[in-house]
Chains A and B, each alone.
Chain A
Amino acid sequence: MPLLRGSSLDAVAAAGNGTRWIAWLAPPFLPYAPALQAAGLVLERQLIVRTLQTKEVWWAMEQVLRSGACRAVLGWAGEARGHVLRRLKLAAEQGGSVGLLFRSTRYRSQASPANVRVTLQGAEAGLEVEIFKAQGGCTGRTRVSASGLGVIG
Chain B
Amino acid sequence: MFACAAACPSLTPNHRCAFMMMKTPAATLDLFAPLPVPPAPRGIGVAPGTRHKPTARQLWLAVHFPQLALEALERDTDARQPHAVIDGSGSAQRVAACDRAAARAGVRPGMALNAALALAPRLAARARQMRAEERLLERCAAWAAQFTPCVSLEPPDALLLEVKGSLGLFDGAARLCERISAELGHRGLQVAVTLTPTPRASLWLARAGRNTVIIEPAALIGALATLPIGALGWPQESLALLTAMGLGTVGDCLRLPRDGWARRFGVDLLEELDRATGRAPEVRRSYRRAQRFHARFEPMAEISEIEQLAAVLEPLLAALGRFLRSRQGGITSLMLGFRHRAAAESILRVGLAAPSADARHLMALVRARLDRYTLPEPVTQIRLRSGPVLPLDFESGSVFRSRRAAPDAAGGVPRLVERLRARFGEDAVFGVCLVPEHRPEVAWRAVPLDAAAEGGRGRRESAGPSVARPLWMLTQPAPLKVVDGAPRYRGPLSLETGPERIETGWWDGRDVARDYYVARDARGARLWIYRDRRPPRGWFWHGIFG
Q: Mark B405-421, 1 if CB is under 8 A from A, else 0.
A: 11101111101110110
Q: Enumerate chain B residues within 8 angstroms of A67, measured Cβ to Cβ.
A: 405-406, 412-413, 415-416
B452 touches A56 (CB 8 A): no
Given A3-B546, A67-B406, A36 and B471 touching (CB < 8 A)?
yes
CB proximity to A under 8 Å, residues B261-299: none
How far apart are B360's CB and chain A's nearest CB, in angstroms?
Answer: 14
Most B Cβ at <10 Å: residue of A30, A64, A70, A123? A30
B405 and A29: CB pair below 8 A? Answer: no
- Alpha-carbon distance A47/B473, docked complex (angstroms): 17
A33 adjacent to B409 (CB under 8 Å): no
CA distance A64 to B526 in the complex (A): 31
Q: A105 interface residue, CB < 8 Å from B?
A: no
User: Are A31's CB and B471's CB within 8 A?
Assistant: yes
Encode B534-546 as 1/0 by CB contact (under 8 A) with A.
0000000001111
Instruction: Report which residue of B409, B523, B543 has the largest number of chain A beta carbons within 10 angstroms of its beta carbon.
Output: B409
Q: Among the listed B409, B449, B457, which residue makes an inter-chain contact with A20, where contact means beta carbons less than 8 Å apart?
A: B409
Q: Tell yes or no: A34 within 8 A of B by CB.
A: yes
**Contacting pair B469 A96 (CB below 8 A):** no
How far does the alpha carbon of A37 sit from the alpha carbon of B544 in the complex, in Å?
16
Interface SS majority for chain A: mixed
In the complex, the answer to whether B416 meets A20 with C-beta atoms within 8 Å is: no
Report chain B residues within 8 Å CB of A48: 429-432, 446
Given contacts A59-B423, A69-B413, A126-B524, contact A28 B471 (CB under 8 A): no
Say whether B471 contacts A47, CB under 8 Å.
no
Say yes or no: is A86 at the interface (Cβ < 8 Å to chain B).
no
Closest B-chain residue to A19, C-beta based? B409
Bound form: Cα–Cα A27–B429 in Å? 12
The verdict on A50 contacting chain B, using a C-beta distance below 8 Å, is: yes
Interface size class of B (residues with CB under 8 A): 35 or more
Q: Quick one: which of A18, A36, A63, A68 contacts B405, CB cutoff 8 A?
A: A68
Stretch at the interface among A4-12, A107-115, A131-139: A4-12
Whole-angstrom distance between the alpha carbons of A131 and B469 in the complex? 28
Q: In the bound complex, what is the Cα–Cα distance between A21 and B413 (angstroms)?
A: 8
Question: In the complex, which residues of chain B have a beta carbon less than 8 angstroms from the beta carbon of A46?
Answer: 431-432
Q: Which residues of B contact A30 (CB under 8 A)?
A: 472-475
Contacts of B459 in A (CB 8 A): 42-44
B471–A4 touching, CB < 8 Å = yes
State whether A43 touches B432 (Cβ < 8 A): yes
CB neighbors of A among B490-546 (8 A) = 523-526, 543-546
Does A153 touch B at the CB level, under 8 Å?
Answer: no
Asked if A60 and B472 sit within 8 Å, CB to CB, the answer is no
Expressed in whole angstroms, the Cα–Cα distance for A126 and B524 within the complex equals 7
Tell me the nearest residue of chain B to A69, going by C-beta: B412
Q: Are B452 and A45 in contact (CB under 8 A)?
A: yes
Q: Is the CB of B546 within 8 A of A36?
A: no
Q: Smallest CB–CB gap between A55 and chain B, Å?
A: 11
- Check if A37 sits within 8 Å of B434, measured CB to CB: yes
Asked if B462 is an interface residue, CB under 8 A from chain A, the answer is yes
**B355 at the binding interface (Cβ < 8 Å):** no
Point out the residue from B404, B423, B431, B526 that lies within 8 Å of A56, measured CB to CB.
Answer: B423
Say whether, besides A38-B462, A63-B419, A68-B406, A56 and B424 are in contact (CB < 8 Å). yes
Q: B387 on the interface (CB 8 Å rule)? A: no
Q: Specify the chain B residue showing the minimal Cβ separation from A4.
A: B546
Decide yes or no whether B464 CB sits under 8 A from chain A: yes
Q: Mark A108-132, 1 if CB is under 8 A from B, else 0.
A: 0000000000000011111100000
Residues of A close to B543: CB separation below 8 A: 29, 32
Which A residues lie within 8 Å of B412 (CB)? 67-69
Contact partner of A6 (CB less than 8 A), chosen from B406, B449, B471, is B471
A149→B416 CA distance, assembly (Å) = 32
Q: How far is the CB of A103 from chain B (nearest CB, A)?
A: 18
Report B546 CB to chain A, min CB distance, Å. Answer: 3
- Which residues of chain B from 135 to 170 have a CB within 8 Å of any chain A CB? none
Contact B443 A34 (CB under 8 A): yes
Which A residues lie within 8 Å of B460 (CB)? 43
A9 touches B546 (CB 8 A): yes
Contact: A47 with B413, CB < 8 Å?
yes
User: Given A43-B433, A69-B411, A69-B416, A32–B470 Cβ distance below 8 Å?
Assistant: yes
Point out the residues of chain B lying under 8 angstroms from A17, CB to CB. none
Residue B428, interface by CB 8 Å: yes
Give A130 Cβ to nearest chain B Cβ, in Å: 15
Give bound CA distance, A94 to B405, whole Å: 6
A52 (CB) vs chain B CBs: closest residue: B424
The verdict on B455 contacting chain A, using a C-beta distance below 8 Å, is: yes
With beta carbons under 8 angstroms apart, the residue of B432, B444, B524 that contacts A125 is B524
Q: Which residues of B contact A51 (CB under 8 A)?
A: 424, 428
Q: Does A95 contact B (CB under 8 A)?
A: yes
Contact B471 A32 (CB under 8 A): yes
Partner of A122, one of B406, B428, B474, B525: B525
Closest 3 pairs between A and B when the two form their complex, measured CB to CB: A68-B406, A6-B546, A33-B444
Jot down 20 A-B pairs with beta carbons below 8 A, ordered by A.
A4-B546, A27-B472, A32-B543, A33-B445, A34-B462, A38-B468, A39-B471, A42-B459, A43-B433, A43-B434, A43-B460, A47-B416, A49-B428, A59-B423, A67-B413, A68-B405, A69-B406, A69-B416, A94-B405, A96-B405
Known: A3-B472, A29-B544. 17 other contacts (CB 8 A): A6-B545, A30-B472, A32-B470, A33-B433, A34-B469, A37-B434, A43-B434, A45-B431, A47-B449, A52-B428, A63-B420, A67-B412, A68-B407, A69-B406, A123-B524, A125-B524, A127-B524
Q: Contact residues of A with B, CB < 8 Å?
A: 3-9, 18-21, 27-39, 42-52, 56, 59-60, 63-64, 66-70, 94-96, 122-127, 146
Binding site for A on B (CB under 8 A): 404-407, 409-413, 415-417, 419-420, 423-424, 428-434, 440, 443-446, 449, 452, 455, 457, 459-460, 462, 464, 468-475, 523-526, 543-546
